Amino acid sequence: EELTHILAKVETHNHPTAISPFPGAATGSGGEIRDEGATGRGSKPKAGLCGFSVSNLNIPEALQPWEAESAAYGRPARIASPLAIMLEGPIGAAAFNNEFGRPNLAGYFRTYEQFTGSADSPEGRLLRGYHKPIMLAGGVGSIAASQSFKSATLPAGSLLIQIGGPGMLIGLGGGAASSMTTGSNSADLDFASVQRGNPEIQRRAQEVIDRCWQMGAPAGDGSAPGDGNPILSVHDVGAGGISNALPELAHGAGCGARFELRAVNIEEPGMSPAEIWCNEAQERYVMAIAPDRLAEFTALCERERCPFAVVGKTTREKHLVVADSHFGNQPVDMDMAALLGKPPRMTRTATHLPPLGVPFDATAVDLREAAARVLRLPAVADKTFLISIGDRSVGGLTARDQMVGPWQVPCADVAVTLMAFEGFLGEAFAIGERTPLAVLNGPASGRMAVGEALTNIAAADIAALGDVKLSANWMAAAGFPGEDARLFDTVRAVSDLCQQIGVAIPVGKDSLSMRTAWQEGGDGEHGERKQVVSPLSLIVTGFARVQDARRTLTPQLVLDIGETDLLLIDLGAGRNRLGGSALAQVFNATGSETPDVDDPARLVAFFGAIRKLATENLLLAYHDRADGGLFATVCEMAFAAHCGVSIDTDSLCYDPLMNDVDGNEKRPDLLGGRSFELLMRALFNEELGAVVQIRRAERSPVMAILRAAGLGACSQFIGSPNPWDQVRIIRNAKAVLAEPRMELQRAWSETSFRMQQLRDNPECAQQAYDRILDPTDSGLSVSLSFDPGDDVAAPMIISGARPRVAILREQGVNGQVEMAAAFDRAGFAAVDVHMSDVLSGRVTLADFKGAVACGGFSYGDVLGAGQGWAKTILFNARARDSFATFFARSDSFALGVCNGCQMMSALKEIIPGADAWPSFERNRVEQFEARFSLVEVPASPSVFFAGMGGSRLPVVVSHGEGRALFASAEQQTRALVAMRYVDPAGQPSERYPDNPNGSPAGITGLTTADGRFTIMMPHPERVFRSVQMSWRPADWDARGWHDSPWLRMFRNARRWVD
């Protein structure tokens, strides 16, 4: 064991995403991943987050009422529309994370576009919005304590290496273009500044880095062969390309460097010296190693098939020389200090201007209409279309993703990962952002972003508030009148708040060119100058160590433990301010007074009280109050549990200036004036706070803890679940709103449905949307034909014998670690076997009892999923003989999962009894699908599923090409099915999303007649521990079922070997 630290990084990639959404967002995620892997002397990215802020979507044939006013305003022709950004950008980010092999577990999505001010005022009207979007990419990683710091000095003659992809003429000037007002640069330069992503080669580079840091801390200085990690320092290549990364690598170690330009790996030989030196081609790292370690490093790179080149050496003189052997000159010859010394100090004059708002009259709206509009606003609405496209389980260390409960509703407050495959220590991260508030009150928006990050992350089992560390990402239209002063005030306000509550902000980045300007209708004086200015935008991400990942709270209401109550903890203390709220936005207003963190001590007390209540098992469910206010919070809790909720608003609407019944004792439909305003403020204010569910019998101890924390006066019981499957809002003992939960959930999910309908297979989108109306949908369930507490492999494990199993991977495979962990836990000795080992003859399968082909994207799936991998076996005599001999043995077994399933199905000509296996084609939904799906294990000969026949339980699914395609109906009839997707009633399903890929009869796993060879698209190796499951029955932890039922299949294999 070794002390391991948590890495945290969040950055933005706004300009490239505006110009070309898919590659812009993809390389945004890819660059942030490299930052995590290039920390210290090498580290491990673990889990990611992604967020988007754009202007109004203006979905065709679904224009929302609040979008109409600005819909015709336009945008520069060179930038993508908000709709295009949200159809393409999230796919780019997800695709990079998926293929690299990092789960994406958190995020946010906000649309904002609004005219502020008045045409009659001296300032006129200003369109605020995100024509230049925010594309947020971040994540957590881990680093060994011994690898945390780069070498402080590099001896002269140290080798400077570029590893990863080749240089190409892409991304030239990207760093500079991102710092300009969008629309002010030339179109050609804007398009030239966008990079392109290749996650498969970045994965190869990360594998090399992993092999290096896993060699441990050097005993000496790391220069001798075999002396620990050969990497002395590592740096990712981002803005400025190697012209920035290589000099920084040398300068950071207090030395100079000499480089040979023509040693740099490039794809385009016609590039000029400046283009070679300055292009921002992605998936590259630079590092320093000692000359005597080159042979070891070369062997590692060759095994992973990762390109690298020695491009220079360090020098004692702090001088930078770039030599060009092609032209016989030195295009760069300068002192390091001139390039990387301190820049001149900048002085700016900031002027305060009054905010430009739009008054909001809460009494002039209809309650039912307000509820429907708020639920449809993207910041509030269902975000399934952004979540199901991203792998959330790769790596096998996910404990809490976005999807909650048996119906997998996306409403989790926090993401939680496990530190390792043993124990329950982990990491939590959550996002907070309240950017519309900044139009009225910049400092309040900053404080509220910090507050929201903390009320979100409070759902995780964190020991103390001081354990939380924040990242602050700042966006502003610097130089625009009033914005510099607003930025200064907000930075100071956030700094003051964090010092008061004892939370540090050790990391952050900024993007200060958040304005889009262009001219329409002609040039010069003949055209109309237009602009869209983004609000000051602070995105805060909180990170913390988790004591027990099993104890994470979710919004899912518990319905089977007797009477329960819902308790609102209102950190706004009854102020109920509506300025900048979702309610105001959907009626094209801003309001005036915004929520704020008025009492930092109350926020500290809240965090401590929530953690104490959770530690004493007094909380059943938890959901913070944010966009959409109390109404949206309670609705999401009802959606997660598929139940009704009754909310009594009397205590929330109390006004000492009015009588108790407000004249509404007879006719709730007459509710109006001040009384109605109080109701709307109570339901839709977005002050900090949370709703918790508790047992009614435990009211007293709960309130005692809250009073002791000084929160008694702002904690009110507001309602409880009801049996009518309705959301009921009660005022003066009468229902002022009583809507079926299904109808509200349909409104909440409408935006996601419409986006998926445009982007994916519309028939599948419709099926998923209609499923909300199915009253028989009981969601995920578990029905087992065996006792998961019975370890059938225990006698074999006790014997001490550990049969060897080859964990096979090809370049681009990313699921080998969790597969090895599952087999290791079942009593095998798991051995990492790269296909280069087999092809070179370094490894033969004769030495193994089992062979397992893992999930991922071999060769980037460019020849079809798994096809390239299969062909490297079939068309290489040594590999084909090795595999054919292995399959022909009577004492061998093999398993193919996901990409390994696709690959093994293509090997069926050399696998005895596999002739009826299908190929696996593009999902019917026409999209990568990541789901937690219900499957049945039918009786079959598979050695993996012995004794499991008839069981139904959920399993992770993550693939884009999983639809089984049989050559004929006769072939399908002959196929021996080992696993199939079923609906909640247990029937084989072809309906989406019960069946995420459209395979006939739900078929997703097959075996051979002797049962030795099994293939499947789902990933049981990612859920072999119950803590890894997005949902599990509540009694499993109490029964001590820390190993999930899926571990039985691996234990079955171990028993079969003996």
Closest CA to 859 of 796, 814, 794: 814
Rounded Cα gap, residues 458 and 362, in angstroms: 31
Give the count of beta carbons closer than 10 Å to the beta carbon of residue 269.
Answer: 8
The SS3 of residue 529 is strand
CA–CA distance, 720 with 730 (Å, rounded to integer): 12
Measured CA to CA in angstroms, residue 929 lies from 90, 149, 175, 388, 738 at distances of: 13, 39, 33, 6, 35
Pairing verdict, β 804-809 and 850-853: parallel
Q: Judge whether 899 and 856 are in contact, CB under 8 Å.
A: yes
Q: Which among 154, 188, 157 is positioned nearest to 41, based on CA atoms?
A: 154
Q: What single string gives the DSSP state of each residue in 231-285?
A: EEEEEE--TTTHHHHHHHHHHHTT-EEEEEGGGS-BS-TT--HHHHHH---SSEE
- Determine whether 898 is an active site residue: yes
- Joined together, the tokens standing for residue 600 give 């930092």
Count Cβ atoms within 10 A of the Cβ of residue 233 and give its class: 0-12 exposed, 13-18 middle, 19 or more buried.
buried
Does residue 485 sit in helix, strand or coil?
Answer: helix
Q: What CA–CA distance (Å, rounded) separates 1016 from 896? A: 6
Q: For this structure, is 13 an active site residue?
A: no
- Among 948, 808, 932, which Cα is nearest to 869's? 808
Cα separation, 599 vs 571, in Å, equals 8
Q: Find, among 830, 834, 820, the residue nearest to 208 by Cα.
A: 834
Comparing CA positions, the residue from 184, 168, 209 lying closest to residue 36 is: 209
Taking the C-alpha atoms of residue 1001 and residue 364, their distance in angstroms, rounded to an integer, is 53
906 and 870 in contact (C-beta within 8 Å)?
yes
Measured CA to CA, the distance from residue 679 to residue 892 in angstroms comes to: 69
First to last CA, the chain: 31
* Catalytic annotation present for 5: no
Q: Which amino acid is at 941?
A: P
Residues in Cβ contact with 636 at an 8 Å cutoff, skipping those fewer than 6 apart: 409, 411, 555, 623, 748
Q: Looking at 200, 898, 901, 959, which residue is catalytic? A: 898
Give the residue numbers marked as catalytic.
Answer: 898, 1019, 1021
